[in-house]
Structure 1
Amino acid sequence: MKSNCLHLAIPAGDLTKAMTFYCEVLGCKTGNSEEGRWVDIDFWGNELTLHQSEEQLPNVRHKVDMGEVAVPHFGIHLPEDEFQALKRRIEAAGLEYLDKPYRRFVGNEYEQETFFIKDPNGNVLEMKTMVNPELMFR
Protein backbone atom coordinates (compact mmCIF):
# COMPACT_ATOMS: atom_id res chain seq x y z
CA MET A 1 0.00 0.00 0.00
CA LYS A 2 1.30 3.47 -0.87
CA SER A 3 0.27 6.67 0.88
CA ASN A 4 1.17 10.17 -0.22
CA CYS A 5 0.57 11.77 3.18
CA LEU A 6 3.38 12.06 5.69
CA HIS A 7 2.65 12.41 9.42
CA LEU A 8 5.18 14.23 11.57
CA ALA A 9 4.72 15.27 15.21
CA ILE A 10 7.02 17.90 16.71
CA PRO A 11 7.40 19.83 19.98
CA ALA A 12 5.90 23.25 19.25
CA GLY A 13 6.36 25.20 22.46
CA ASP A 14 3.45 27.64 22.85
CA LEU A 15 0.66 26.38 20.56
CA THR A 16 -0.77 29.86 20.01
CA LYS A 17 2.57 31.19 18.74
CA ALA A 18 3.15 28.05 16.68
CA MET A 19 -0.29 28.26 15.06
CA THR A 20 0.28 31.93 14.20
CA PHE A 21 3.55 31.00 12.47
CA TYR A 22 2.26 27.96 10.59
CA CYS A 23 -1.15 29.40 9.65
CA GLU A 24 -0.69 33.16 9.26
CA VAL A 25 2.90 33.23 7.99
CA LEU A 26 3.23 29.93 6.10
CA GLY A 27 -0.43 29.81 5.05
CA CYS A 28 -1.27 26.37 6.45
CA LYS A 29 -4.71 25.37 7.82
CA THR A 30 -5.61 23.63 11.08
CA GLY A 31 -7.36 20.30 11.41
CA ASN A 32 -8.12 18.11 14.40
CA SER A 33 -6.89 19.22 17.81
CA GLU A 34 -7.02 18.68 21.54
CA GLU A 35 -7.29 22.07 23.27
CA GLY A 36 -4.01 23.08 24.88
CA ARG A 37 -2.27 19.82 23.99
CA TRP A 38 -1.86 19.45 20.21
CA VAL A 39 -3.16 20.59 16.84
CA ASP A 40 -2.91 19.06 13.36
CA ILE A 41 -1.68 21.36 10.60
CA ASP A 42 -2.26 20.74 6.90
CA PHE A 43 1.39 21.10 5.83
CA TRP A 44 0.87 21.10 2.05
CA GLY A 45 -1.17 17.90 2.17
CA ASN A 46 0.83 16.32 4.99
CA GLU A 47 -0.21 16.00 8.62
CA LEU A 48 2.08 18.02 10.89
CA THR A 49 1.05 17.65 14.53
CA LEU A 50 2.21 20.46 16.80
CA HIS A 51 2.48 19.39 20.45
CA GLN A 52 2.41 21.89 23.30
CA SER A 53 5.83 21.50 24.90
CA GLU A 54 8.52 22.92 27.13
CA GLU A 55 11.45 21.32 25.31
CA GLN A 56 13.24 22.34 22.14
CA LEU A 57 15.18 20.03 19.84
CA PRO A 58 18.92 20.59 19.68
CA ASN A 59 20.23 21.47 16.24
CA VAL A 60 23.67 20.72 14.90
CA ARG A 61 25.21 21.66 11.57
CA HIS A 62 26.23 19.20 8.83
CA LYS A 63 28.45 20.17 5.90
CA VAL A 64 26.91 20.16 2.41
CA ASP A 65 27.73 22.00 -0.81
CA MET A 66 26.05 25.23 0.37
CA GLY A 67 27.85 25.28 3.73
CA GLU A 68 26.56 23.81 6.96
CA VAL A 69 22.86 23.03 7.34
CA ALA A 70 20.89 22.52 10.53
CA VAL A 71 19.95 18.93 11.40
CA PRO A 72 17.32 17.80 12.17
CA HIS A 73 15.05 19.69 9.79
CA PHE A 74 11.96 19.05 7.69
CA GLY A 75 10.23 20.92 4.92
CA ILE A 76 8.39 20.79 1.64
CA HIS A 77 9.04 20.97 -2.10
CA LEU A 78 6.88 23.65 -3.71
CA PRO A 79 6.15 24.76 -7.27
CA GLU A 80 8.17 27.87 -8.18
CA ASP A 81 5.25 30.32 -7.89
CA GLU A 82 4.22 29.02 -4.44
CA PHE A 83 7.86 29.05 -3.30
CA GLN A 84 8.30 32.71 -4.33
CA ALA A 85 4.96 33.64 -2.68
CA LEU A 86 6.10 31.93 0.54
CA LYS A 87 9.37 33.91 0.51
CA ARG A 88 7.33 37.14 0.18
CA ARG A 89 5.10 36.15 3.15
CA ILE A 90 8.14 35.34 5.30
CA GLU A 91 9.80 38.65 4.44
CA ALA A 92 6.53 40.59 4.96
CA ALA A 93 6.24 39.02 8.43
CA GLY A 94 9.73 40.32 9.24
CA LEU A 95 11.15 36.85 9.89
CA GLU A 96 14.86 36.23 9.49
CA TYR A 97 16.15 33.34 7.46
CA LEU A 98 18.32 30.85 9.31
CA ASP A 99 19.97 30.24 5.91
CA LYS A 100 19.06 32.71 3.18
CA PRO A 101 17.67 31.56 -0.19
CA TYR A 102 20.36 29.76 -2.15
CA ARG A 103 20.45 28.10 -5.58
CA ARG A 104 22.05 24.66 -5.53
CA PHE A 105 23.23 22.39 -8.33
CA VAL A 106 22.98 25.19 -10.92
CA GLY A 107 22.94 23.81 -14.47
CA ASN A 108 22.37 20.28 -13.15
CA GLU A 109 19.12 18.31 -13.51
CA TYR A 110 18.69 18.62 -9.70
CA GLU A 111 18.89 22.43 -9.68
CA GLN A 112 16.86 23.90 -6.83
CA GLU A 113 16.40 26.97 -4.69
CA THR A 114 16.25 26.43 -0.95
CA PHE A 115 16.15 28.33 2.32
CA PHE A 116 15.95 27.49 6.02
CA ILE A 117 13.81 29.14 8.70
CA LYS A 118 12.98 28.36 12.32
CA ASP A 119 9.52 28.13 13.81
CA PRO A 120 8.84 29.85 17.18
CA ASN A 121 10.06 26.76 19.08
CA GLY A 122 13.32 26.46 17.14
CA ASN A 123 12.28 23.62 14.80
CA VAL A 124 14.14 24.07 11.51
CA LEU A 125 12.27 24.00 8.19
CA GLU A 126 13.85 23.73 4.75
CA MET A 127 11.65 25.00 1.95
CA LYS A 128 12.65 24.34 -1.65
CA THR A 129 11.62 24.44 -5.27
CA MET A 130 13.06 22.13 -7.89
CA VAL A 131 13.64 23.05 -11.54
CA ASN A 132 12.79 19.45 -12.54
CA PRO A 133 10.70 17.99 -9.68
CA GLU A 134 9.76 14.97 -11.78
CA LEU A 135 13.39 13.82 -11.71
CA MET A 136 13.74 13.77 -7.92
CA PHE A 137 12.82 10.09 -7.53
CA ARG A 138 13.25 8.14 -10.75
Structure 2
Amino acid sequence: MQNSNPFHLAIPVTSLELSRQFYGELMGCAQGRSSEQWIDWDFFGHQLVTHLVAEMPSAPQHNAVDNHAVPVPHFGVVLDWQCWQQLADKLSEEKVDFVIEPYIRFVGQPGEQATMFLCDPCGNALEFKAFKDLNQLFAK
Protein backbone atom coordinates (compact mmCIF):
# COMPACT_ATOMS: atom_id res chain seq x y z
CA MET A 1 0.00 0.00 0.00
CA GLN A 2 1.64 3.25 -1.08
CA ASN A 3 1.07 6.53 0.73
CA SER A 4 1.44 9.97 -0.84
CA ASN A 5 2.83 11.36 2.46
CA PRO A 6 5.14 8.68 3.84
CA PHE A 7 6.68 9.02 7.26
CA HIS A 8 10.27 8.28 8.21
CA LEU A 9 11.01 6.39 11.41
CA ALA A 10 14.35 5.16 12.76
CA ILE A 11 14.35 2.40 15.39
CA PRO A 12 17.08 0.60 17.34
CA VAL A 13 17.91 -3.07 16.74
CA THR A 14 20.65 -5.26 18.17
CA SER A 15 20.93 -7.41 15.04
CA LEU A 16 20.65 -6.43 11.39
CA GLU A 17 20.31 -10.12 10.48
CA LEU A 18 17.25 -10.45 12.74
CA SER A 19 15.92 -7.27 11.09
CA ARG A 20 16.34 -8.85 7.66
CA GLN A 21 14.50 -11.96 8.80
CA PHE A 22 11.65 -10.07 10.48
CA TYR A 23 11.09 -7.00 8.28
CA GLY A 24 12.31 -8.51 5.02
CA GLU A 25 11.26 -12.16 5.10
CA LEU A 26 8.31 -12.26 7.55
CA MET A 27 6.78 -8.84 6.93
CA GLY A 28 7.68 -8.78 3.23
CA CYS A 29 9.21 -5.29 3.29
CA ALA A 30 11.59 -4.46 0.45
CA GLN A 31 15.10 -3.57 1.58
CA GLY A 32 16.51 -0.25 0.38
CA ARG A 33 19.89 1.29 1.10
CA SER A 34 22.00 -0.21 3.86
CA SER A 35 25.37 -0.18 5.56
CA GLU A 36 27.02 -2.18 8.32
CA GLN A 37 25.09 -0.02 10.81
CA TRP A 38 21.58 0.38 9.34
CA ILE A 39 19.01 -0.83 6.79
CA ASP A 40 16.25 1.17 5.06
CA TRP A 41 12.94 -0.67 4.60
CA ASP A 42 9.85 0.06 2.51
CA PHE A 43 7.45 -0.36 5.44
CA PHE A 44 4.06 -0.39 3.70
CA GLY A 45 4.98 2.73 1.70
CA HIS A 46 6.86 4.42 4.54
CA GLN A 47 10.59 4.59 5.28
CA LEU A 48 11.63 2.56 8.31
CA VAL A 49 15.32 2.50 9.20
CA THR A 50 16.68 -0.15 11.56
CA HIS A 51 19.82 1.19 13.26
CA LEU A 52 22.26 -1.16 14.96
CA VAL A 53 22.78 -0.47 18.69
CA ALA A 54 24.75 -2.33 21.35
CA GLU A 55 21.70 -2.70 23.60
CA MET A 56 18.04 -1.86 23.45
CA PRO A 57 16.41 0.90 25.48
CA SER A 58 14.08 -0.18 28.26
CA ALA A 59 11.18 -2.48 27.44
CA PRO A 60 7.79 -0.90 26.62
CA GLN A 61 5.38 0.00 29.41
CA HIS A 62 1.68 -0.80 29.00
CA ASN A 63 -1.55 1.23 29.03
CA ALA A 64 -5.04 -0.24 29.26
CA VAL A 65 -7.08 0.19 26.07
CA ASP A 66 -10.30 -1.76 25.47
CA ASN A 67 -9.35 -4.24 28.23
CA HIS A 68 -5.93 -4.96 26.69
CA ALA A 69 -2.41 -4.01 27.79
CA VAL A 70 -1.17 -1.87 24.89
CA PRO A 71 2.63 -1.54 24.74
CA VAL A 72 3.99 2.02 24.90
CA PRO A 73 5.88 3.12 22.93
CA HIS A 74 4.79 1.42 19.74
CA PHE A 75 4.53 2.31 16.06
CA GLY A 76 2.76 0.91 13.07
CA VAL A 77 0.57 1.63 10.09
CA VAL A 78 -3.07 1.81 9.09
CA LEU A 79 -3.72 -0.70 6.32
CA ASP A 80 -6.80 -1.21 4.21
CA TRP A 81 -9.11 -3.90 5.60
CA GLN A 82 -8.12 -6.62 3.13
CA CYS A 83 -4.36 -6.03 3.56
CA TRP A 84 -4.78 -6.10 7.34
CA GLN A 85 -6.66 -9.41 7.18
CA GLN A 86 -4.04 -10.93 4.86
CA LEU A 87 -1.24 -9.83 7.20
CA ALA A 88 -3.11 -11.11 10.27
CA ASP A 89 -3.65 -14.47 8.56
CA LYS A 90 0.00 -14.71 7.48
CA LEU A 91 1.33 -13.83 10.93
CA SER A 92 -1.07 -16.29 12.57
CA GLU A 93 0.01 -19.04 10.15
CA GLU A 94 3.64 -18.25 11.00
CA LYS A 95 2.71 -18.66 14.68
CA VAL A 96 3.92 -15.17 15.58
CA ASP A 97 3.84 -14.45 19.31
CA PHE A 98 1.34 -11.57 19.40
CA VAL A 99 1.34 -9.05 22.23
CA ILE A 100 -2.37 -8.57 21.41
CA GLU A 101 -3.85 -11.05 18.94
CA PRO A 102 -5.79 -9.74 15.93
CA TYR A 103 -9.29 -8.59 16.89
CA ILE A 104 -11.88 -5.85 16.33
CA ARG A 105 -11.91 -3.19 19.04
CA PHE A 106 -14.41 -0.48 19.89
CA VAL A 107 -17.13 -2.63 18.28
CA GLY A 108 -20.19 -0.52 17.44
CA GLN A 109 -18.46 2.67 18.62
CA PRO A 110 -16.84 5.55 16.74
CA GLY A 111 -13.39 4.44 15.66
CA GLU A 112 -14.23 0.74 15.38
CA GLN A 113 -11.07 -0.91 14.04
CA ALA A 114 -9.19 -4.10 13.44
CA THR A 115 -5.93 -4.18 15.38
CA MET A 116 -3.04 -6.41 16.37
CA PHE A 117 0.21 -5.87 18.25
CA LEU A 118 3.49 -7.74 18.09
CA CYS A 119 7.16 -7.09 18.78
CA ASP A 120 10.07 -7.45 16.42
CA PRO A 121 12.92 -9.73 17.58
CA CYS A 122 14.64 -6.78 19.30
CA GLY A 123 11.56 -5.77 21.32
CA ASN A 124 10.18 -2.87 19.26
CA ALA A 125 6.38 -2.94 19.61
CA LEU A 126 4.32 -2.61 16.41
CA GLU A 127 0.60 -2.09 15.84
CA PHE A 128 -1.24 -2.76 12.61
CA LYS A 129 -4.78 -1.49 12.29
CA ALA A 130 -7.52 -1.09 9.71
CA PHE A 131 -10.90 0.59 9.42
CA LYS A 132 -13.78 -0.50 7.21
CA ASP A 133 -14.45 3.24 6.89
CA LEU A 134 -11.20 5.25 6.94
CA ASN A 135 -13.26 8.31 7.92
CA GLN A 136 -13.47 6.68 11.37
CA LEU A 137 -9.68 7.10 11.89
CA PHE A 138 -10.14 10.20 14.07
CA ALA A 139 -13.81 9.70 15.03
CA LYS A 140 -14.83 10.69 18.56
State the TM-score, normalized to the length of structure 1: 0.90
Q: CA deviation at 1:136?
A: 2.0
Distance 2:115 2:30 in 1: 23
Q: CA deviation at 1:102?
A: 2.3
Q: CA deviation at 1:137?
A: 4.5
Say whether 1:79 aligns with 2:80. yes
Measured on the aligned residues, the alpha-carbon RMSD in Å equals 1.6
Percent identity between the two aligned chains: 39
Letter of the structure 2 residue corresponding to residue 61 of structure 1: H
Gaps of 5+ in 1: none
24 and 111 in structure 1: CA distance in 2 versus 1, 3 angstrom threshold: same
Question: 1:51-89: CA deviations, max 9, x gaps?
Answer: 112222321011222322100000011111111111122
Contact 1:66 1:104 in 2 (8 A): no
Query: What is aligned with 1:63?
Result: 64
Letter of the structure 2 residue corresponding to residue 103 of structure 1: I
Number of residue pairs aligned between Structure 1 and Structure 2? 135
Distance 2:136 2:93 in 1: 32
Contact 1:109 1:131 in 2 (8 A): no
Letter of the structure 1 residue corresponding to residue 31 of structure 2: T
Distance 1:67 1:98 in 2: 9
Once the two structures are overlaid, the 10-residue window that deviates more, 119-128 or 51-60, is 51-60
State the TM-score, normalized to the length of structure 2: 0.88
Query: What is aligned with 1:98?
Result: 99
Say whether 1:46 aligns with 2:46. yes
